[in-house]
Amino acid sequence: MPRQRVATPATTATELVNAYRPRDFLLTSASGSLLGRGVLATATGVEDLSGVLGEVATDTGQAALAVGALPFDRDAPAHLVVPETVRRGPAAASAADAAPARPPLPGTWTATPVPDPAEHTVAVKRAVALMTGPGDTTLRKVVLARCLRLTGTGEADVIAVLTNLLRADPAGFTFAADLPGRGTRPRTLVGASPELLVAKHGRSVVSHPLAGSAPRHPDPAQDRERAAALLASAKERAEHAVVVEAVAEALRPYCRRLDVPREPAPVTTATMWHLATRVTGELHDPHTPSQLLARALHPTPAVCGHPTGRAYAAIAEIEPFDRGFYTGAVGHTDAAGDGEWVVTIRCADLCGDTVDLFAGGGIMPDSDPAAELAETTAKFRTLLRALGVDQTS
Ligand SMILES: C=C(O[C@H]1C=CC=C(C(=O)O)[C@@H]1O)C(=O)O
């Protein structure tokens, strides 16, 4: 029987970041940090994972762990791995880490937006037209994204990017997940997501959906005004409510108790304000695997839209690029089904001399195309800052 090694825990999350090597899996969150290395077994669907994990022992007798990434497209293969070694550490402390010694993007880089900013506003108008008619107007919300492709003369330094992400948002979910490669070069999804798709431990289940956004302002008074305006906005609250309804609906069949707060709360990252609702519940069956809950929830209208099928079709028709693993999920689960999955937003797909950044936003019937463009520009900043790039397009 393959045996997973449980390594001596790290004393800080930064220690795990500094230990990161290409093809490892890293996730830091408020509940702890984790580094997975090597491959004992793989799976391409969450349904196979419990069986695969059941075949793996650990050297401590603890439940074996799997890690990995789920793509946006529910029908596309996932990239799930049972690592040879798992090393845990504490939650990331406050932003005390030193700046990385090396530049995140050595060499010269050029940026190409896909679509370009003007085309994105046209895309938003097309989405609004789908919701407002004439014709079938069952579509209530659709999330449209942009990609910013950076091509360079060097290769991104993943440890430097992770260090910057962790410094900027120590309370967020900072991750690096290996992806199916293009050729022999490692391909890595790196990001700092503020959004918890699902965490499950025993009977306890939590989801923390976000939707409704405003860029942060450097002046504290104006920053607070932005949060107040976000909370007061009927459009942003409606956009948020669609997500909370869908999350509650997806979790309800699995839960004997589900608490859904009536009012969203504002949450921050270093670059954005969001409306957030913490949904908590108690599962009927404590053995329900976290990966099946992730599968039941994905894609929430925070990344796709509502109704899901109509929104998928609108995205396929309007967005001019393949999302791949952006707006999927990254996370881990153990043989008991306990685990944590985060929504893969505020992320970049790094492969050799190419870095693809992604940012999207929920489009509602009353969306303003210029404001939606500005929102994606602000969201790109999380990764651009971590990459040491000032450009905003
Ligand atoms: C799709 C993204 O954000 C989602 C999560 C939070 C707020 C969102 C919004 O306000 O539109 C999006 O639903 C992204 O950052 O790429």
The chain-wide mean pLDDT, for the chain, equals 94
pLDDT above 70 coverage of the chain, percent: 98
Residue (of 107, 78, 93, 81) closest to 26 by Cα position: 81
Q: What is the mean pLDDT of residues 88-107?
A: 81
Residue 390 pLDDT > 80: no
Q: What is the mean pLDDT of residues 97-121?
A: 89
Q: What is the mean pLDDT of residues 77-89?
A: 97
Residue 181 pLDDT > 90: no
Q: Output the pTM of the full model.
A: 0.96
Residue whose Cα lies nearest atom 8 of ligand 1: it is: 211
362 CA distance to ligand 1 centroid (A)? 6
State how far the alpha carbon of 205 is from the alpha carbons of 63, 267, 301, 332, in Å: 19, 20, 19, 15
**Cα 250 to Cα 242: distance, rounded to the nearest angstrom:** 12
Residue (of 344, 340, 321) closest to 332 by Cα position: 340
Residues 6 or more apart in contact with residue 135 via CB below 8 angstroms? none
Contact 20/158 with Cβ under 8 angstroms? yes
Does 371 reside within a domain? yes
What pLDDT sits at residue 218? 95
Which atom belonging to ligand 1 lies closest to the Cα atom of 361? 11
What pLDDT sits at residue 127? 97
Contact 149/111 with Cβ under 8 angstroms? yes
What pLDDT sits at residue 61? 84
Buried-exposed string 255-291: b where 16+ CB fall within 10 A, e elsewhere: beebebeeebebbbbbbbbbbbbebbbebeeeebbbb
**Cα 55 to Cα 70: distance, rounded to the nearest angstrom:** 22
- ipTM surpasses cut 0.90: yes
Q: How many domains does the chain have?
A: 1
Residue 222 pLDDT > 70: yes
327 CA distance to ligand 1 centroid (A)? 9
Domain of 199, in residue numbers:
3-94+114-386
Does 266 reside within a domain? yes
What pLDDT sits at residue 135? 82
Residue 102 pLDDT > 90: no
User: Of the given ranges (39-48, 181-190, 333-342), which has the lowest mean pLDDT?
Assistant: 181-190
Residue whose Cα lies nearest atom 10 of ligand 1: it is: 212
Q: State which of 140, 303, 344 you would mutate to test the pocket of ligand 1, scoring each by most atoms of that ligand within 8 A of its C-beta.
A: 303
Does 263 reside within a domain? yes
Which atom belonging to ligand 1 lies closest to the Cα atom of 236? 10
**Would you put residue 32 in left (φ > 0), alpha (ψ -120 to 50) or beta?**
left
Residue 97 pLDDT > 80: no
Number of CB atoms found within 10 A of residue 91's CB: 14
Does 364 reside within a domain? yes
Token pair of 12 as six digits = 């800080």
Residue 162 pLDDT > 80: yes
Residue 95 pLDDT > 60: no
3 state SS of 3: strand
What pLDDT sits at residue 182? 72
CATH number for the domain spanning 133: value is: 3.60.120.10
Does 181 reside within a domain? yes
Residue 358 pLDDT level (bands cut at 50, 70, 90): very high
Residue (of 318, 327, 308) closest to 76 by Cα position: 327
Residue 87 pLDDT > 50: yes
Contact 56/3 with Cβ under 8 angstroms? yes
Kindly list the protein residues whose Cβ atom lies closer than 6 A to any atom of ligand 1.
143, 145, 195, 210-213, 274, 302-303, 345-346, 358-362, 379
Contact 350/187 with Cβ under 8 angstroms? yes
3 state SS of 224: helix
Residues 6 or more apart in contact with residue 220 via CB below 8 angstroms? none
244 CA distance to ligand 1 centroid (A)? 13
Residue 100 pLDDT > 90: no
251 CA distance to ligand 1 centroid (A)? 21
Residue (of 36, 12, 5, 41) closest to 23 by Cα position: 36
Q: State which of 140, 143, 342 you would mutate to test the pocket of ligand 1, scoring each by most atoms of that ligand within 8 A of its C-beta.
A: 143
User: Of the given ranges (59-68, 258-267, 336-345), which has the lowest mean pLDDT?
Assistant: 59-68
What pLDDT sits at residue 68? 98
Contact 175/193 with Cβ under 8 angstroms? yes
Bridge partners (DSSP) listed for residue 57: 3
Residue whose Cα lies nearest atom 1 of ligand 1: it is: 360
Residue 92 pLDDT > 90: no
Residue (of 236, 312, 308, 315) closest to 272 by Cα position: 236
What pLDDT sits at residue 1? 83
Sequence letter at residue 241: A
Q: What is the mean pLDDT of residues 9-30?
A: 95
Residue (of 118, 27, 104) closest to 384 by Cα position: 104
Does 188 reside within a domain? yes
What pLDDT sits at residue 53? 93
Residue 265 pLDDT level (bands cut at 50, 70, 90): very high
Residue 392 pLDDT > 60: no
Residue 377 pLDDT > 90: yes
Does 122 reside within a domain? yes
* 286 secondary structure, DSSP code: T
336 CA distance to ligand 1 centroid (A)? 31
Which atom belonging to ligand 1 lies closest to the Cα atom of 145? 16
Does 99 reside within a domain? no
Which atom belonging to ligand 1 lies closest to the Cα atom of 301? 13
Residue whose Cα lies nearest atom 7 of ligand 1: it is: 211
**Cα 277 to Cα 244: distance, rounded to the nearest angstrom:** 7
Q: What would the DSSP string read from start to end of 112-138? A: EEES-HHHHHHHHHHHHHHHH-SS---
Q: What is the mean pLDDT of residues 78-91?
A: 96
Q: What is the mean pLDDT of residues 272-279?
A: 98
Residue 393 pLDDT > 60: no
The catalytic site residues sit at: 141, 195
Residue 89 pLDDT level (bands cut at 50, 70, 90): very high
